[in-house]
């Protein structure tokens, strides 16, 4: 069946089967940031936004996204690069394999939670697995990024 949806602000059409998962369709459309790490919805590598909400593309049937808006890391490159600088400064980028899904969730968290504490951050990101690290460098990067964003938003409100 043919479906149409918005991918990173562009209208796209894809031919999908009834059991085709969104992950494969997105990769076929060139979104290589969307990765398969577990096929069991446990790692977060395939995180995308569907209508602005984080979802695991390995668990979403492609046929269900017709008419919806899908955002991948390719669609938020500037914002992702800004957080990436914080991640690199704290040594939290490690091998980078898990980074796209992780970054998508951090950016979603920034939109959804106002001034989250460490426990809220941990809970929000509980579904993102990193095989390289103990997470502390990533948590420091998130806290510094969130603080910088809050300061930036405050300055913009005053302007």
Q: Per-residue pLDDT averaged across 8-34, rounded?
A: 97
Of 116, 114, 113, 111, nearest in space to 139 by CA: 116
pLDDT > 70 fraction of the chain, expressed in percent and rounded: 98
pLDDT band of residue 40 (cuts 50, 70, 90) is: confident
List, edge to edge, every strand of the sheet that includes 10-15. Answer: 10-15, 2-7, 69-71, 47-50, 53-56
Domain that holds residue 9: 2-74
Q: Could you read off the pLDDT of 147-159 as tens digits, one per residue?
A: 999 888 877 777 6
The pLDDT value given to residue 102: 92
Residue 152 sits in a domain whose CATH number is 1.10.150.120
In this structure, are 93 and 139 located in the same domain?
yes
In this structure, are 101 and 70 located in the same domain?
no
Residue at a domain's end among 56, 74, 92: 74
* Interior/surface letters 115-130, b for 16+ CB within 10 angstroms, e for the rest: ebeeeebeebbebbbb
Residue 18 has pLDDT above 90, yes or no: yes
Residue at a domain's end among 74, 95, 123: 74
**How many domains does the chain fold into?**
2
Residue at a domain's end among 26, 55, 74: 74
Average pLDDT, whole number, for the chain? 92
The pLDDT value given to residue 159: 67
In this structure, are 84 and 38 located in the same domain?
no
In this structure, are 40 and 99 located in the same domain?
no
Query: What's the token pair of residue 141?
Result: 């990067």
Q: Could you read off the pLDDT of 82-102 as tens digits, one per residue?
A: 999 999 999 888 787 888 999
């Amino acid at each position: 069946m043919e479906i149409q949806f918005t991918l990173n602000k562009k209208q796209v059409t894809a031919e999908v089967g009834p059991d085709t998962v969104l992950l494969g369709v997105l990769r076929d459309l060139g979104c290589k940031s969307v990765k398969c790490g577990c096929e069991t919805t446990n790692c977060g590598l395939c995180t995308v936004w569907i209508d602005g909400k984080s979802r695991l593309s390995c668990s979403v049937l492609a046929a269900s996204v017709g008419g919806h808006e899908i955002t991948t890391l390719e669609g938020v490159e500037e914002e992702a690069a800004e957080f990436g600088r914080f991640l690199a400064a704290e040594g939290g980028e490690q091998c980078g394999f898990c980074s796209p899904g992780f970054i998508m969730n951090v950016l979603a968290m920034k939109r959804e939670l106002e001034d989250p504490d460490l426990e809220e951050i941990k809970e929000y990101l509980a579904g993102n697995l990193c095989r390289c690290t103990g997470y502390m460098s990533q948590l420091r990067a998130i806290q510094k990024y969130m603080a910088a964003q809050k300061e930036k938003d405050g300055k913009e409100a005053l302007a």
